[in-house]
Structure 1
């Protein structure tokens, strides 16, 4: 008695290219490097925000305003935002490539992913660098302690 097993469905793959940039290799390397940098950035963020101060109860508008009035913390938080968003998007791109079987579906999902990452990075960067903790015309009792009285 002979039994035959049907051939499994072939996973998505592109024809191998002999020249050009190997984007999968660079994406893999980016994931490793950004993961290491993100560990440092995130633990630094958590230590400064939660351990060194008064804990979670001290985090309010004035705390964020005080941090973001320093260019060091603006760059720190912006770097953390950019690396985390691109790291997560690259991981999602890998999942889309692995599980989306139709070329059109893959294209739509990757386009939506690219669009959402660009929008979130742009908005996050604008918030970090244009944040004004001392808005003009605000009542003095609502301003942070480091703001000059109007």
Structure 2
């Protein structure tokens, strides 16, 4: 017969880490970053949703020409870049915290965090490249699909 420990019983105290093994204020800075980036992300995301869905003709107006017109402006490139970077750092930090809390084995924790950081780097690099190398006027495209500022060639 298997016995289950009383869930209301107090847990044995954990051994306190020595002063030499603490990581300083890294977790505090991560906690503060999560709060600040969350507030900034709310502004960025709701601004993005307002411009893309509420202002103008709504979701039916979002097409290649709409995105090309937005990304022709450095303002919107920086806006979307900030949104990408903050969302990815915010989400990666949150998942890192979850991995640290729930992955019990150090090897499992290392593999999960390595995959997490790899996914972060790939997404941020590709997203940044797309934002800054996007050509709003690709040659050989039908004129009706190009934004108004492109000259048909």
Where on the TM-score scale, by shorter chain, does this alignment land: which range? Answer: 0.7 to 0.9
**Aligned length, in residue pairs:** 146
Shift of 1:53: 1.1
Return 5+ residue gaps in structure 1 as ranges. none
TM-score, length-scaled by structure 2: 0.85
Alpha carbons 2:64, 2:145 under 8 Å: kept? no
Aligned match for 2:33, one of 30, 34, 37: 30
Alpha carbons 2:65, 2:145 under 8 Å: kept? no
Which residue in the other structure is 1:116 paired with? Answer: 119
- Between 69-78 and 19-28, report the one with greater CA deviation: 19-28
Deviations 1:98-140 (A, max 9, x none): 1000000001101110110011000000001100010123343
2:38 is equivalent to residue 17 of structure 1? no
Shift of 1:7: 7.8
TM-score, length-scaled by structure 1: 0.87
Shift of 1:144: 2.5
Deviations 1:38-86 (A, max 9, x none): 0000010011111111111111110000000000000000000000000
2:90 is equivalent to residue 96 of structure 1? no
Cα distance in 1 for residues equivalent to 2:31 and 2:86: 14
Which residue in the other structure is 1:72 paired with? Answer: 75
Which residue in the other structure is 1:39 paired with? Answer: 42
Task: Give runs of ≥4 in structure 1 deviating > 4 Å.
Answer: 4-11
Secondary structure, in 3 states, of the residue corresponding to 1:110?
helix
